[in-house]
Chain A
Amino acid sequence: MAAFPQIWTLYLLGLFLSIRPRYCLKASLFLLRAELYSTCSSSHGFHSSAIRAPGGTRLAHTDLKIPDFTEYRRPEVINPNKYSKESGDERRAFSYLITGAVSVLGLYTAKTAVVQWVSSMNPAANVLALSKIEVKLSSIPEGKNMTFKWRGKPLFVRHRTEKEIAIEESVSIAELRDPQHDKDRVIQSKWLVVIGVCTHLGCVPIANSGEYGGYYCPCHGSHYDASGRIRKGPAPSNLEVPDYEFLDDDTISVG
């Protein structure tokens, strides 16, 4: 089973949450914005007023020693005899550069994750795979209509003869119920590609039948011509022409 990208992101989120860094020097990558600190230090002293108790309590607050944090310091501030403000701008610039870069990366990661999550609601691959078909035109002899299954509907691909083309192109649009010129319904006039669903009530017309040399729907008697236009019968509009394109002279991709 294909691993979903969002599972990957979930896993890393869990990993991050389970590893809680204890020190001020935090380094958290993955989904959330990361910042590297090395300036913070904290020390917990206990204010105690026990004076004469032996060992364990201190006498005065001046006995408190700030621990040595040299290990955590950035190189520019290790030397206690150098003013820290001299290197201040550099240190800030570095921190902000890292912050900026990681923010950009984080935003990009977040955007990717969101897009992946949202696009999981898009049609599945198998459905998308069915959405387009390619038809080899050389397998269709002239004058014949071949039917293909496309998106659950019959697709008619008709290799039209010269005579049929001439007839259809010369039909006056004014007398059509659904006026459309033949030129507007085909890319190359030799090939007619229409969806084989009658626009009346959805039956599949029969090819090469009817009074107009095209299709005839047996259910209620709708006659379509060789351009798939309704000529007679109850159907209101022409057979639908789907989106298709010629990949080359021999192949069309429908859908």
Chain B
Amino acid sequence: MASSVCRFGSAVGRVLTKTRSPILLSLRRGQASVSYAQSLAAAPETRLTALDNGLRVASEETGHATCTVGLWISAGSRYESEKNNGAGFFLEHMAFKGTKKYPQTALEQQVESMGAHLSAYTSREHTAYYMKALAKDLPKAVELLSEVVQGCSLNEAEIEQQRSVVLRELEELDSNLQEVCLNMLYATAFQGTPMGHSVFGPSSNARNLTRQDLVNYINSHYKAPRMVLAAAGGVKHEELVGLARSHLSGVSFEYEGDAVPVLSPCRFTGSQILMRDDDLPLAHVAIAVEGASAASPDVVPLMVANSIIGSYDLTYGGGKHLSSHLAHLAVENNLCHSFQAFHSFYSDTGLMGIYFVTDKHHIEDMMHWSQDAWMKLCTIVTESDVARGKNALKASLVGQLNGTTPICDDIGRHILNYGRRIPLEEWDARIDAVTPRMVRDVCTKYIYDKCPAVAALGPIEQLPEYNRMRSAMYWLSF
């Protein structure tokens, strides 16, 4: 019976190939006419110009009707001291509360009337103020942004009001356990150094920062050579440069007393911080090692390695048929609610780790398998793992750039980190160059037999003792 079906099927196939056009039967029937490599090559070039005062202007003309334009500044919690930790975050709150030219209501009205979105973010090494608007509103957008950055009014009354907002935000942050866990991870991993500062700063600083502190902060860090005006969308580079010249030429490039702040290296400490609270339902645990810096050649193999471990949460479909081995184990043995492998890189250091959320009975197992996944990366990672990781990484890199805002953010951060925009083609080539041997060597360099930093929060009684976790960073059989 089966053999007759097979014979019939092959007969039909032969008939079809003889009579119909090959394209109908080919697998390529539904595909695009442009290949992946061609589309990467055809991506618009990011153009970069520098003004006289050192401020860089970069843009990518994508042909959208909208645009995102913003100022990316090399300033962040890493540049703050213990006394003014949180100044950048506070400033972010104050930024949209009025400038010298536009008081608050006028500023809001300007933005709203354009139908634009004005936002900002502060991270450890970067601060960004950006606006999403229609492409034709680019001049207005640049003007408003330059006002916000250069002419922030920092009204005393407003500062007092924002204090309570910041304090409330800090309180609310405590209930975002992922944020707490990761902040504590940084605090312990880079203890005693500015990298350990959280972006938000302690509540005492939120209470005590004065207008003068904020002014000092701006004067020390908002300097033209550390700024990038980035734009993406329906923008013309020449127009953008012209606007920058007219609005941002006045940004200072000199420091008081010629004291250029230099980022000193930050020491990583293998350590742990445990915040045990048995009343919380889930445990949040993060384990990390020192990673690569942004400009290091090891970045791409490490990104591939993280793609191999991947991420998972309960909403994933597919049951246990997930390609990441750790995810497969997580489902099969009910090890966790979610996990993600992360790698944050900064100008001269980085943090690479795994963060997971689980209930109190599976912490030990999840930690064991997470570290096991790391060990496998360092020792027996296979060709198929690496191929899968590379594809996942390429897909995520390309997929992330799905709008003018992500593209603009990408441009801003790249110029600050690397001095140029790294095009997708280049990322693609670097990813293709990764081999299993390279993944093994690079992972061994950063992970194998290194002291990890661990931060854990919640009902963490089951978390293994630090020395045991440290022992799991190498295999005796290797």
Q: A residues near B, CB below 8 A?
A: 37, 39-47, 49, 51, 58-66, 68-70, 77, 79-85, 88, 92
B47 within 8 A of A: no
A69–B450 Cα gap in the complex (Å)?
Answer: 19
28 contacts between A and B (CB under 8 A): A40-B270, A40-B272, A41-B188, A41-B271, A42-B271, A42-B272, A44-B276, A45-B184, A45-B275, A46-B275, A47-B174, A47-B280, A49-B174, A51-B171, A58-B203, A59-B171, A61-B173, A63-B202, A65-B202, A66-B192, A68-B192, A81-B264, A82-B265, A83-B268, A83-B349, A84-B290, A85-B268, A92-B449
- Residues in B with CB closer than 8 Å to A40 are 270-272, 466-467, 470
- Residues in A with CB closer than 8 Å to B274 are 42-44
Q: Which residue of A lies closest to B203 (CB)?
A: A59
> Is B171 within 8 A of A77, CB to CB?
no
In the assembled complex, the CB of B94 is this many whole angstroms from the nearest CB of chain A, namely 19
A58–B203 Cα gap in the complex (Å)?
Answer: 9
- Residues in B with CB closer than 8 Å to A80 are 192-193, 266-267
A58–B180 Cα gap in the complex (Å)?
Answer: 14
Q: Which residue of A lies closest to B450 (CB)?
A: A88
> Is A60 within 8 A of B171, CB to CB?
yes
A37–B196 Cα gap in the complex (Å)?
Answer: 23
Q: Which of A37, A59, A62, A77 contacts B269 (CB 8 A)?
A: A77
A92–B273 Cα gap in the complex (Å)?
Answer: 22
Known: A39-B451, A49-B175, A83-B265. A62 touches B273 (CB 8 A): no
- Residues in B with CB closer than 8 Å to A37 are 467
In the assembled complex, the CB of A178 is this many whole angstroms from the nearest CB of chain B, namely 61
Known: A47-B457, A49-B175, A63-B203. A42 touches B273 (CB 8 A): yes
> Is A60 within 8 A of B170, CB to CB?
yes
B198 within 8 A of A: yes
A88–B458 Cα gap in the complex (Å)?
Answer: 31
A216–B177 Cα gap in the complex (Å)?
Answer: 102
A62–B201 Cα gap in the complex (Å)?
Answer: 6
In the assembled complex, the CB of B473 is this many whole angstroms from the nearest CB of chain A, namely 11
> Is A62 within 8 A of B198, CB to CB?
yes
In the assembled complex, the CB of A130 is this many whole angstroms from the nearest CB of chain B, namely 51
Known: A59-B167, A60-B171. A66 touches B198 (CB 8 A): no
- Residues in A with CB closer than 8 Å to B312 are none
A39–B268 Cα gap in the complex (Å)?
Answer: 11
B345 within 8 A of A: no
> Is A66 within 8 A of B188, CB to CB?
yes
B214 within 8 A of A: no
Q: Knowing that A64-B184, A69-B271 are A-B contacts, what are 11 other residue pairs whose CB atoms are under 8 Å apart, sorted by A's residue number? A: A39-B271, A44-B274, A47-B174, A60-B170, A65-B202, A69-B269, A81-B193, A81-B266, A82-B267, A84-B268, A88-B450
A88–B450 Cα gap in the complex (Å)?
Answer: 8
B183 within 8 A of A: yes
The 3 A-B residue pairs with the shortest CB-CB distance, nearest first, are A60-B170, A59-B203, A66-B191
In the assembled complex, the CB of A28 is this many whole angstroms from the nearest CB of chain B, namely 13
A60–B280 Cα gap in the complex (Å)?
Answer: 17
> Is B170 within 8 A of A59, CB to CB?
yes
Known: A40-B466, A60-B170, A62-B170. A47 touches B272 (CB 8 A): no
- Residues in B with CB closer than 8 Å to A68 are 192
> Is A41 within 8 A of B269, CB to CB?
yes
Known: A82-B267, A83-B265. A62 touches B202 (CB 8 A): yes
B window 183-240: CB within 8 A of A: 183-184, 187-188, 191-193, 196, 198, 200-204
- Residues in B with CB closer than 8 Å to A63 are 202-204
Known: A59-B171, A60-B203, A61-B174. A84 touches B267 (CB 8 A): yes
- Residues in B with CB closer than 8 Å to A65 are 202
In the assembled complex, the CB of A48 is this many whole angstroms from the nearest CB of chain B, namely 9
Known: A45-B275, A49-B175. A79 touches B449 (CB 8 A): no
Known: A60-B200, A81-B264, A85-B290. A45 touches B273 (CB 8 A): yes
B426 within 8 A of A: no
- Residues in A with CB closer than 8 Å to B277 are 46-47
> Is A83 within 8 A of B183, CB to CB?
no
Q: Which of A41, A60, A70, A77 contacts B174 (CB 8 A)?
A: A60
> Is B275 within 8 A of A39, CB to CB?
no
A88–B444 Cα gap in the complex (Å)?
Answer: 14
> Is B183 within 8 A of A62, CB to CB?
yes
Q: Which residue of A lies closest to B199 (CB)?
A: A62
Q: Which residue of B lies closest to A96 (CB)?
A: B449
- Residues in A with CB closer than 8 Å to B167 are 59
Q: Which residue of A lies closest to B82 (CB)?
A: A65
B window 245-301: CB within 8 A of A: 264-277, 280, 290
Q: Which of A49, A58, A61 contacts B183 (CB 8 A)?
A: A61
In the assembled complex, the CB of B167 is this many whole angstroms from the nearest CB of chain A, namely 7
- Residues in A with CB closer than 8 Å to B266 are 80-81, 83
> Is A66 within 8 A of B196, CB to CB?
yes
In the assembled complex, the CB of B169 is this many whole angstroms from the nearest CB of chain A, namely 9
A40–B449 Cα gap in the complex (Å)?
Answer: 15
A82–B290 Cα gap in the complex (Å)?
Answer: 13
A230–B187 Cα gap in the complex (Å)?
Answer: 95
> Is A84 within 8 A of B174, CB to CB?
no
A68–B451 Cα gap in the complex (Å)?
Answer: 18
In the assembled complex, the CB of B44 is this many whole angstroms from the nearest CB of chain A, namely 38
A167–B245 Cα gap in the complex (Å)?
Answer: 133
A68–B86 Cα gap in the complex (Å)?
Answer: 21
Q: Which residue of A lies closest to B263 (CB)?
A: A81
With a 10 A CB-CB cut-off, give which of A42, A47, A61, A68 has the most chain B CB atoms. Answer: A61
